[in-house]
Amino acid sequence: MSDSVVGKTVSFFDRLGPGLLLAATSIGASHLVMAPRAGWKFGFQLLWLVPLTHLFKYHAFEFGPRYAAATGESLIAGYARMPGLRGWALWILLVGTVTQGIGVLAAVVGIAAAVLSTFIGHEPFAGFYIALVIGTVLLFLLFGGYGWLDFLNKVMMTVLFLVTVIVFVPACPGPGAFRHFVIPTVPAGSIAIIAGILGWMPTGIDVSIWHSLWTLEKHRDLASAESSQRRWELFRFSLMDMRVGYGLSFVVACVFLMLAGVYLHGTNDTIDGAQFAQSLAKIYTNNIGPWMYVVFMVAAFTAMYSTVYAVMDGFSRSFAETVSTLFPKIRARWRTRLYWSFVLCTAAFAFLTLVALKGKNPVTLVLDVAFLSLCIAPLYCGLNYVCVTRFIKDEKFRPGTVARVLALAGICVVGVGTLVCAAAKFGLLK
């Protein structure tokens, strides 16, 4: 390979960022817990949920970098322009950010701590492992900021993807499994998992808002770009970056569900409780060799660790931006303080919650938080649609007709899914 090709590859990889952060947030609880859990309990029957969620949520996520690259501002600024009572969308976002920020961080920290403690071989929810995960992420945020978040995430995603592909190639199921991509089935007892996957696969819609903020952080000249050509270049690369991360999320979700369907369905192994990582590791060790145990555990932990990193930064960044948009006079002086206040408060709450719930099933916690994400998802999908169709001035940056139709269909699908899963959760639907 020539030096010029290597140089271009390195340059391209270096320019990627927000899209891989989207993948990092996705390839966490939904991929390492819910997708394998679906395969373990129901084989390939719920495989159709992976393309469905990725297809109908795609534009809700794509509208984040699209809006940021087209306007030089985040979706939060777009939410502030919503017609009606001044700031109503921002207040809803603020409440959602606070409530979800607390629960989501506790859930992903719990999963990361479970993987780490399973690997090392000690009590799953000992406070030491929870503190270790939270404390090191805080240090990276303090001393590295977005730069370390960007760099570490690329390394972690590369390791996880390579390991996953290596184990899947020899284990690829027969053609019969792939018909479940297009043939929906709802087996008995699957509503809770369906709700979790609809809510958190590829991830919560909140991440589209973070993505717009990360895009502005990665391409700082977007806010001041006056050249139409320069803005168009950044716009196209931002969308391509997003699609790379989104495609990675789709592939890994399919692989984990099918691996569990091949090797765990109908066995005594479980994707439940704190030892779920042990069951997943068996897939790798039984089919490649005992040495893969360490490789998988490192990859699984780095996937969850990057999720914790992205979640802690994303919710805090969203909180600070929302409050400073609601109260613009405090922006210059308080925005950074708002960010760190939220980081520290949610980190402390996550630690105390997990210690208090010692022994509680982390998978159950993830499913509960995923249902909360599902309940608010239709609103965020709708707000994102309004932002890109009404507040982007230049027509060439707006989504086309097909994209708009799919986006509206996505809002309907997520809305109907929310109603059905809520009805089932509260006993109104059997």
Q: What number is the average pLDDT over the span 193-213? A: 83
Q: What percentage of the chain exceeds 70 in pLDDT? A: 81
Q: With 80 as the cut, is the pLDDT of residue 208 above it?
A: yes
Give 211-260 pLDDT, tens digit per residue.
Answer: 898 888 877 767 666 666 777 888 888 888 888 888 888 988 888 888 88
> Do the beta carbons of residue 99 and residue 315 sit within 8 Å?
no
For the segment 404-420, the average pLDDT, to the nearest whole number, is 87
Tell me the three-class secondary structure of 328-341, residue by residue. HHHHHHHHHHHHHH
Overall fold of domain 11-425: Amino acid/polyamine transporter I (1.20.1740)
Q: What gap in Å lies between CA 350 and CA 352, rounded to an integer?
A: 6
Determine the pLDDT at residue 8.
Answer: 47
Q: Which whole number is the average pLDDT over 152-160?
A: 72
pLDDT at 251: 87
Whether residue 362 is predicted with pLDDT greater than 70 in this model: the reply is no
Residue bearing the bigger pLDDT, 194 or 62: 62
- What letter represents residue 205's amino acid? I
Q: Cα(114)–Cα(36) distance, rounded to whole angstroms?
A: 16
User: How far is Cα 295 from Cα 116, in angstroms, rounded to an integer?
Assistant: 13
pLDDT at 169 over 70: yes
Residue 281: CB atoms within 10 A of its CB come to 21
Most confident of 151-155, 211-215, 219-223, 266-270: 211-215
The answer, yes or no, to whether residue 29 has pLDDT greater than 70, is: no
What pLDDT, on a 0 to 100 scale, did the predictor assign at position 9?
47
Task: Assess contact for 126 and 114: CB atoms under 8 A.
Answer: no
pLDDT for the residue 346: 92
Average pLDDT of the chain is: 81
Task: State both tokens at 404.
Answer: 């708009």
Task: Give the pLDDT confidence of 44-99 residue by residue, as tens digits.
Answer: 999 999 999 999 899 999 999 899 988 889 999 999 999 988 899 999 999 988 88
Let me know if 338 is exposed, middle or buried by CB neighbors in 10 A (0-12, 13-18, 19+). Answer: buried
Distance CA 50, CA 179 (A): 13
Distance in angstroms (rounded) separating the CA atoms of residues 249 and 58:
11
Q: What's the whole-number mean pLDDT along residues 377-383?
A: 91
Find the mean pLDDT for residues 282-309: 76
pLDDT tier at 6, thresholds 50, 70, 90: very low
pLDDT digit string, tens, across residues 335-359:
889 999 999 999 998 898 888 876 5
To the nearest 10°, the Cα dihedral for 216, 75, 17, 335? 60
pLDDT for residue 150: 67
Higher-pLDDT residue of 248, 150 = 248
Mean pLDDT for 111-135 is: 78
| pLDDT bracket for residue 11 (50, 70, 90) | low
Q: How far is CA 204 from the centre of its chain?
A: 6
Torsional sign, CA 278, 279, 280, 285: positive
390 phi and psi angles, rounded to 5 deg? -115, -30
Total residue length of the chain: 430
Maximum mean pLDDT: which of 129-133, 261-265, 268-272, 279-283 = 129-133
pLDDT at 63: 93
Smallest CA-to-CA distance from 31 within 303, 364, 354, 306 is with 303
Q: Where are the domains of the chain?
A: 11-425
Angle between helices 362-390 and 206-218 (to 10 degrees): 70
Read off the pLDDT band of 168 (50, 70, 90). Answer: confident
- Gap between the Cα atoms of 103 and 97, Å rounded: 10
How far from 90 is each of 94, 216, 368, CA to CA, in Å? 6, 19, 24
Question: What string of H, E and C letters represents the secondary structure of 8-50?
Answer: HHHHHHHHCCHHHHHHHHHCCHHHHHHHHHHHHHHCCCCCCHH
Say which DSSP state 33 is in. I
- Residue predicted with more confidence, 368 or 394: 394
pLDDT at position 81 is 93
The predicted model gives 352-367 an average pLDDT of 70
Task: Give me the amino acid identity at 420.
Answer: V
Q: Which residue has the tokens 């997943």?
A: 280
- What is residue 403's predicted lDDT score, i.e. its pLDDT? 92
In 3D space, the residue among 355, 285, 275, 270 whose CA is nearest the CA of residue 114 turns out to be: 275
Predicted TM-score (pTM) of the model is 0.84
Mean pLDDT of 144-170: 71
Q: How confident is the model at residue 5 (pLDDT cuts 50, 70, 90)?
A: very low
